[in-house]
Every structure is written in C-alpha cells, then in structure tokens.
DNA sequence: AGACTTCAGCGAAACGATTAGCTATCGGAG
DNA sequence: CTCCGATAGCTAATCGTTTCGCTGAAGTCT
C-alpha cells in the first residue's frame, strides 16, 4: 500500500502539500495540485485512517450497542442507524449486549478502545449499575431506555403513555379483568409501561388482580410460559396488555396452544412494533414507536455533540406512541369471563 | 484520555514496560507489574487502537456488507455475525448496500480506507460489474451469493437444490400448474432457485406456463404486485414457488387481497427463512437455510485468511437447504384449477 | 528603491502505541 | 577478584498522517 511519502516523492513535493491537496486545507497551485492528483491516482493511494485518526484523534466510527439483536425491534433500529450514520459520513460499529450487563460492560470498554467518536446505547442494566461518570469522554445518546440520574442525552418514547393508551383502549372495549405481561422492572421501558397500565385502570377505579401482573425477560419464550401460566387458571383475564412485540408473539402462541382464540376468548394489545408485521394474523392492536424517526433523532443529537464538542445542556427527547388498531381485540361479551 | 506515557510516568517505569504488561509480551517482575496494573486502573487507561493499529497495521475490524438490512434474513445474518466476530476478538462494522451496486462500490472503498482486516460481503451486482482484482489485498468471503469468475472464498447454499426440493414437494402434492416468483436473474441465488424449479418440473415432463414465471426485486412490494397480476388471471397457477421469505409475505398478502385462501385455493412454498416465523399464519412450507451455521463458517474462513495471510486454495462451502413443512400447501383437489 | 506584506510550499514535530536493540545489574564460574 | 552470561527494563526508532511555524520569492506601498 502506497503511503503519503510515496505520493510526495513521486509528485516531487512535500507530504504537507499532498495532505493539503487531499483535504483542501490550504491553497495549492494548479500545477502542483495536478502533479499530486496524478501521483495519487497512479499509485492507487488511499490514506490510512489509522494514521489520520491517530493524528486527529477521531475515528469516524459511531458505535451502536443494542440490547438484543434477535429482536426485530432492534433489527429495525440497526437498519435505520446504518443509513443515518452513513449519511453523516461515519461508519457503524455494531454490538449486541444480549440484555447482559456484563457483556455491555465489555462492549463499553471496547468502544473506548476503538476510539469511537460517539455511541448510541440501549442500556441493559439497572440505573445503579452505572458509574456517575460512566460515559464521560465519549459522546453518548441513550436510545429507547434511559438511566435515572445519568447526564447523557436520551431519545425515548413516552412509555407511560404507551401503557395507558393501550389499556385505555381495552377498558373502552369493556374489559375489566385485564392482565399485563411486561419486561424486567428495573428497565425504564417496563416500568413506564406498567405504570401507565396501572394508572389507566386506577383512573376508572380498577386495579389488576395480583396474579394478573407479571414480568419476565423481554423474550418470546419467557412471555410464552408466563402467558400459559396466567391463562391456564379459571379466573384468567379477558384481555392482556403485553409490553413488547416479541413477547406478544409468545403470548399469542401460548393462547393458541391452550385452545383459546384471539380475539374471541382473549383480547391482546401490545406496545412496540412486531416481527413480520405484514404476515401476523390476527394483526396486533398496538402502540407503535416511530423507530426510524427516533433513531434519526438520536444520531442527529449524537453527531451534534461530536462535532460541537458541545457543552450544550442535556437533551431528552420523548416521542409519543401511536395506537394502531389491529384485529387482536374485541369488546367484552357477556359470555366471557 | 490517559495515554501509555501517563501510565508509565505514574508507575515509574518506561512505556515499553507498560506495553509488555498489557500484551504479556515479555517477562516483567511481579512488583513492577503490580505498579503498572494499579496505574492503569487508577487512570482508567485504555490503549488507543488507532495508535496500536498504525503500528501493527491491523485494525481489528471486520466489515459486513449485506444486501438489504430491512430483510429479516439479513438481520438474522447480522445477529450471528456480530456474535461470531466478537468471539474471534474483532469488532463488526456494518454496511447496507440496499441492493444497489453503486452503494456497494462506495462501501467497498470505505472498507479499504477504514483498513478493515477482512470483510464478509453479500454482493449485489452482476458478475461483470466486478473487476477481476476487485477484492485484492483484503481478506474476503462472499456470503449467500457468489460471483462467477471471482477468486474469493464463498459460503453459499445449494440454491438449485432449494428450488428443486420445494417444487418437488408441490409436484408430489399433485400440483401441475406451478408458478414461480423469484428475484433478479443476475443474482446467483435467483438463478439457481429458478433453475432448480424448472428442472424439477422438467424431470416430470412438465414446464411452467410462460406467464407463470416471474422475477422482480427481492422485496415485499415487488412480490405483491407480481403476485396480484399473476393470480388475477383465470388460468392462474394452483401453487407458487416464491424464492424468498420477504417476497412470500407479499405474495400471501396479495392472495388474501384477491379473496383467495392459502392453502385452500393456492399452495405456497418458498425458500429461506421468514419474518415473524413464530407468528405467521399459515406457517410457510419452505426450504430453510442454516443461517447461523453459514455465517459462522464464513467468519471462520475469513479469520483463517486474515491470520494465516494464507495462500491456501480458494474454498467454496455449499450448505444444503432443509425442507420445513408448514401449513401453506395442500394436495391439489379436482375443484381447483 | 527600500521596507513591508503576502503566501506557496516545505521541514519537522507531534499523535500513542510496539519493538529492536541496548544498558545495567546480578549471580556464578574460573 | 575478574569476567561472563542472563535478563529486567529502558531508549529511541517507527508506523502514516496532520499541522505549526518557517523560508524565500514575489508583489505592494510610499
């Protein structure tokens, strides 16, 4: 691989001039410029990012660490993020913490070592697992989940509103015995959606039965077994709010396996987008996140921080969920419950 | 950010010693080692990859360029690849060529500039769009699709067998009027699956009607409109082979919108995995790729090339598809067709 | 004409690590 | 007591860029 010195020698100029031509950082006479350009072309010279970055202490890399790559929700984020990162002139380094705080810790250290200019993180740990200065020295935007007491920029949805919207919808259909299946309570997403659900019921003077409020891992299998358990008992709920799309799939499978029908026997409403949105039957009634918008916004904030090296105040952007009515809910009938 | 010099100063040793401790590359007395380790911890020192890589001329980066990040098939590859790359001690830089040769060209140049140690590429262009030495100087494994006449390692599936298996299955159910919807013919995947389909029919002395063999973009929308067109005519096929999971979703949607039922009115068999495998109804009968195995194998080959800097012979690994029977096909009945 | 600007282009010092080669110390052999 | 080999640890060169500060030629002003 040719280096800048080879180019300089071949063009009969100094390396400084070559650099100036490459970066348009100083005026170079047309004649010299032409010689340099020719030399670059003939030698097939490509500047070494390693050297350039060492010098500039930038890497042109943006890291994205998501919580679970097997979840289509995050796959969607990855898709949007790749496009946004490329559009801003960076490249995307992808990590999957797989919902494991230990893995996340390793990833954060790796991101530092790589010298990424910034990172978008979907944190997987409880707030107290992070040092106060955990993200110091590297531009950071938390996406989807926030960490209480942390000073990084965040882009999230209004989880409380999502839970409230979905459960209000079920209540409007006449359901009273409503269950919920959410993720780990130490995550801001689970907590918010759960609270929204509770508050929606409380607003009508209701409260879910103790056994009807469950939480578990944000995974299909976890949701499946919780749902089987909850729906197996005779006083099962007539409607369920499921906090996440992948879990909703597990719940629907559990219901089918129990010989129940959705929505005839049990209504299901969930939050967040769903795998195979086009093909799932019945289509889920759900509150959707504007994933692409959120991701784009996160990267806009991040690039802003990176390039301004800014001491701007912390920004917390909250997106509102939108209720999308599918076919997975129906009004409560007398013969059910 | 602390540098190796800061650590050396704080520990009262030379930078060489710090480096030796970090890399375990020379014997260091327990006492000094302890001092160094303490200093590293206290300063929260993380070595700069930029500097290290400049020196070692390696980047610890492996690039993955897939054809379409919105396709769950590639999302699945990304998932597996991230895990494999991390397991080998590298980090993953992700690119999406979005099935556009121009974008792919830019990506390849970017990968060079970044100095990635190797790349896994799902090529999107026709064979003649690549220079003979296109991938010279960077370890490369082509995944899923191959480029005729190119000397890179490849990991693919036997597309011909996939098409043949699926269509043999339809033939065994008694179908004779079988249509196919595949992707662009310049791609090895489309071509192979299409040929397998034709050969399966030819083996029984059959051939598809001209209007029943269609190809288009590997996307849901493209498949939807092609399917609507094909299934709208009175002599429509009784079964369709769809070359890809995303397209299958489009086809099923088209069928539903035409008021037809699957599998009662038309059987559908496809190749490759499907979005929302858990939730789609009816579940597709399909030939599946062992995506995780393929991806792991691709990375094994790649790391092998990177670390051996090897002149080993070119390796072409071909995986066999497996027929998974769902509920999207049924035997041909007299009243159909 | 002399003094002062301007500015194209160059030389060399960074950036932060690795590593070849050297120095100094120590123990043991002659 | 000297000399030698072994070896822990240091010095300094190096990787390929960017960039600060300098040089000297040309242009401008009085």
Domain with CATH 3.40.50.2300 in chain A: 61-158+290-321, 159-289
pLDDT reading at B335 higher than 50: no
| Per-residue pLDDT at A310 | 57
What share of chain B has pLDDT > 90, as a percent?
51
pLDDT reading at B132 higher than 50: yes
pLDDT reading at B24 higher than 50: yes
Domain A4-47 class, CATH top level: mainly alpha
| Per-residue pLDDT at B219 | 83
Give the number of other CB atoms < 10 A from CB of residue B134: 18
| Per-residue pLDDT at B310 | 57
Give the number of other CB atoms < 10 A from CB of residue B329: 25
Nearest residue of A to residue B96 by CA position?
A: A82
Q: Name residues 23-52 of chain B with a Cβ under 7 Å from nucleic strand C.
A: 23, 25, 45-48, 50-52
Question: What does CATH list as the number for B61-158+290-320?
Answer: 3.40.50.2300
Q: A322 CB near a chain B CB, below 8 Å?
A: no
**Would you call A31 exposed, middle or buried from its count of C-beta atoms within 10 A (0-12, 13-18, 19+)?**
exposed
Distance, C-alpha A108 to centroid of its chain: 16
Distance, C-alpha B55 to centroid of its chain: 33
Distance CA B244, CA A80 (A): 22
Q: A22 CB near a chain B CB, below 8 Å?
A: no
Residues of chain A under the 50 pLDDT cut = 277-278, 334-337
Domain with CATH 3.40.50.2300 in chain B: 61-158+290-320, 159-289
| Per-residue pLDDT at B170 | 92
Q: Which residue has the higher pLDDT, B131 or B189?
A: B189
Distance CA A205, CA B254 (A): 45
In whole angstroms, D2 C1' to B14 CA is: 32
Tokens of B245: 């999971």
Distance CA B191, CA B159 (A): 8
> Who among A69, A91, A280 is closest to B276 (CB)?
A280
| Per-residue pLDDT at A215 | 87
> Who among A48, A83, A275 is closest to B279 (CB)?
A275
Tell me the count of A-B CB pairs closer than 8 A: 141
Yes or no, beta carbons of A110 and B93 under 8 Å apart: no
Report the mean per-residue pLDDT for chain B: 88
Q: A83 CB near a chain B CB, below 8 Å?
A: yes
Q: Which nucleotides of D are covered by protein (CB under 7 A)?
A: 7-12, 14-21
d(CA B224, nearest CA chain A) in Å: 11
Distance CA B100, CA A84 (A): 17
User: Residue at minimal CA–C1' distance from D19?
Assistant: A16
User: Residue at minimal CA–C1' distance from D15?
Assistant: B55
> Who among B115, B137, B252 is closest to A49 (CB)?
B115
| Per-residue pLDDT at B309 | 56
Q: A314 CB near a chain B CB, below 8 Å?
A: no
Residue B140 in contact with residue B151, Cβ under 8 Å? no
Tokens of B224: 């939807």
Residue A298 in contact with residue A315, Cβ under 8 Å? no
What mean pLDDT is predicted for residues B277-289?
A: 74
Nearest residue of B to residue A90 by CA position?
A: B110
> What region, left, alpha or beta, does residue B148 occupy, with left being phi > 0 and alpha being psi -120 to 50 degrees?
beta
| Per-residue pLDDT at B164 | 94
Tokens of B114: 């970044």
- Strand order of the β-sheet with A213-215 is A213-215, A178-182, A239-242, A267-271, A285-288, A322-324
Beta strand segments in A67-216, E: 91-96, 118-121, 139-143, 153-157, 178-182, 213-215
Architecture of the domain made up of A159-289: 3-Layer(aba) Sandwich (3.40)
pLDDT digits (tens, 9 = 90+) for B35-56: 999 999 999 898 998 999 999 8
Q: B2 CB near a chain A CB, below 8 Å?
A: no
Where helices occur in A88-142 by DSSP H, the ranges are 101-114
Decide if domain A61-158+290-321 falls under CATH 3.30.70.890. no
Distance, C-alpha A210 to centroid of its chain: 31
Residue B186 in contact with residue B215, Cβ under 8 Å? no
User: Which among B70, B140, B147, B166 has a CA at the least distance from the CA of B299?
Assistant: B140
In whole angstroms, D12 C1' to B266 CA is: 77
Tokens of A189: 């997403």
Yes or no, beta carbons of B95 and A115 under 8 Å apart: no
Instruction: Detail the protein residues whose CB sits closer than 7 A to any atom belonging to strand D.
Output: A 1, 3-5, 15-16, 18-20, 22-23, 25, 45-48, 50-52, 54-56; B 12-17, 26-29, 31-32, 51, 54-55, 57
Distance CA B230, CA A330 (A): 35
Q: A233 CB near a chain B CB, below 8 Å?
A: no
Yes or no, beta carbons of B72 and A75 under 8 Å apart: yes
Domain with CATH 1.10.260.40 in chain A: 4-47
Distance CA B288, CA A86 (A): 32
Yes or no, beta carbons of A69 and B53 under 8 Å apart: no
Chain A residues in contact with B59 (beta carbon < 8 A): 50
What DSSP letter does each residue of A278-296 carry, written as one string?
TTBSSPPEEEEP-HHHHHH
Query: What is the CA angle A25-A31-A33, rounded to 5?
Result: 30
Nearest residue of A to residue B250 by CA position?
A: A278
């Amino acid at each position: 691989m040719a280096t800048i010195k080879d180019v300089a020698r071949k063009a009969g100029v100094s390396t400084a001039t070559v650099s100036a031509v490459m970066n348009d950082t100083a005026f170079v006479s047309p004649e010299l410029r032409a010689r340099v350009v020719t030399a670059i072309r003939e030698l097939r010279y490509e500047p070494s990012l390693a050297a350039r970055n060492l010098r500039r202490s930038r890497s042109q890399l943006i890291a994205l660490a998501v919580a679970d790559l097997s979840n289509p929700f995050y796959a969607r984020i990855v898709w949007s993020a790749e496009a946004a990162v490329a559009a801003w002139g960076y490249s995307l380094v992808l990590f999957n913490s797989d919902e494991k705080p230990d893995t996340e810790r390793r990833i954060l250290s790796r991101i530092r070592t790589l010298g990424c200019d910034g990172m978008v993180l979907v944190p997987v740990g409880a707030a107290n697992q992070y040092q106060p200065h955990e993200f110091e020295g590297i531009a950071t935007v938390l996406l989807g989940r926030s960490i209480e007491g942390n000073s990084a920029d965040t882009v999230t949805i209004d989880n409380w509103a999502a839970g409230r919207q979905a459960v209000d919808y079920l209540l409007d259909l006449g359901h009273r015995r409503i269950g919920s299946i959410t993720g780990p309570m130490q995550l801001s997403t689970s907590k918010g959606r759960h609270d929204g659900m509770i508050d929606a019921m409380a607003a009508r003077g209701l409260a879910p039965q103790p056994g009807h409020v469950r939480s578990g891992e944000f995974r299909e299998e976890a949701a499946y077994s919780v749902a089987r358990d909850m729906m197996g008992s005779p006083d099962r709920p007539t409607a369920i709010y499921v906090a996440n799309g992948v879990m909703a799939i597990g719940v629907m499978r559990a219901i089918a396996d129990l010989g129940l029908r959705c929505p005839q026997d049990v209504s299901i409403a969930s939050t967040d987008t769903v795998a195979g949105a086009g093909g799932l039957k019945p289509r889920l009634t759900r509150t959707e996140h504007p994933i692409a918008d959120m991701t784009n916004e996160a990267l806009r904030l991040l690039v802003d921080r990176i390039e301004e090296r800014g001491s701007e105040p912390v920004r917390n952007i909250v997106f509102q969920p939108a209720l999308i009515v599918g076919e997975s809910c129906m009004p409560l009938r007398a013969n059910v419950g």
